[in-house]
């Protein structure tokens, strides 16, 4: 998929600092992204999301009328667009909380313009490249079934949607089912040619996946950690 196509995607920027909004807009515009809108509050962001239907959202955590976490939860009731947190809060627990709610990436302020461009581009590429992937059927795990055709987990009669990142990780694991998939290969499968620095993001997404597919996420039997090497998916057959 061409980069020019990706640059036509609509991007919503949410931050209460006007100077930062201006800077991010200038960085993205210089790279060719022209369909940009901004919001300074949760209220404004939700209105823009409803009316404009963005393809990507960059969210700050600290907002005057709430926070980026609650905004993400509300966005998820109306859209499954990729979300990237852009915030001064860099503690691991803050990252895990955002990623655990379904965010696709996390950038800590201050950041280099090139980092912003690379991460925005990576998120857009993995979420909006070809959608006509071949059917991969129903994959049976110990506590659930993975429906790759619909990007869902079927568990106890309930259908649980997978985010774009969760889908890509599970597909990469399934294609080597029963074998160890290294951390580097998983990061590359999701974040592309420059996967370095995504290990913490990977851990957060793995934890979120286990909450969806395991009967007891603290004692996984389907998505296994192989210490120091990577992860392994244990399946019970493919239908």
- Per-residue pLDDT, 43: 96
Which residue is listed with tokens 């912003």? Answer: 116
Query: What is the average pLDDT value for the chain, to the nearest integer?
Result: 86
Strands 230-233 vs 223-226: parallel, antiparallel or unpaired: antiparallel
- The larger pLDDT score, comparing residue 102 to residue 113, is at 113
The span from the CA of 211 to the CA of 220, in Å, is: 9
The mean per-residue pLDDT over the stretch 153-160 comes to: 90
Residue 129 has pLDDT above 70, yes or no: no
CA 232 to CA 170: how far, in whole Å? Answer: 10
Tell me the DSSP string of 105-127: EEEESS--HHHHHHHHHHHHHHH
Q: Among candidates 43, 54, 63, which has minimal Cα distance to 120? A: 54
* pLDDT of 194 strictly over 50: yes
Q: Could you give the count of Cα atoms lying within 13 Å of 148 in the half-sphere of its Cβ? A: 21
Contact 223, 214 (CB under 8 A): yes
For the chain, give the percent of residues with pLDDT over 90: 48
What would the two tokens of residue 183 be? 């951390």
Is 139 in contact with 145 (CB distance < 8 Å)? yes
Q: Which residue has the higher pLDDT, 214 or 196?
A: 214
Half-sphere exposure of 200 (CA within 13 A, CB side): 14
Each residue's pLDDT tens digit, 17-29? 999 999 999 999 9
C-alpha dist (Å) from residue 189 to 9, 59, 181, 202: 22, 25, 11, 11
Per-residue pLDDT, averaged over 217-229, amounts to: 94
């Amino acid at each position: 998929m061409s980069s020019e196509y990706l640059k036509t995607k609509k991007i919503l920027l949410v931050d209460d600092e006007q100077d930062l909004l201006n800077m991010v807009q200038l960085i993205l515009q210089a790279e060719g992204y022209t369909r940009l809108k901004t919001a300074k509050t949760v209220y404004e962001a939700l209105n823009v999301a409803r009316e404009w239907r963005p393809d990507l959202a960059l969210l700050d955590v600290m907002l005057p009328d709430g926070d980026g976490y609650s905004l993400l939860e509300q966005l998820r009731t109306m859209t499954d667009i990729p979300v990237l947190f852009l915030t001064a809060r860099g503690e691991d627990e803050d990252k895990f909380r955002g990623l655990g709610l379904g965010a696709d990436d996390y950038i800590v302020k201050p950041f280099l313009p090139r980092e912003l461009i690379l991460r925005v581009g990576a998120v857009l590429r993995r979420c909006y490249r070809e959608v006509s992937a071949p059917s991969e059927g129903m994959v049976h795990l110990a506590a659930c079934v993975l429906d790759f055709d619909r990007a869902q987990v079927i568990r106890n009669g309930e259908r649980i949607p997978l985010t774009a990142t969760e889908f890509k990780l599970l597909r990469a694991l399934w294609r080597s089912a029963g074998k160890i998939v290294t951390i580097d290969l998983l990061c590359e499968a999701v974040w592309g040619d420059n996967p370095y620095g995504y290990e913490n993001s990977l851990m957060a997404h793995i934890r979120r996946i286990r909450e969806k597919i395991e009967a007891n996420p603290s004692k996984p039997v389907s998505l296994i950690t192989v210490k120091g090497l990577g992860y392994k998916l244990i399946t019970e057959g493919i239908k």
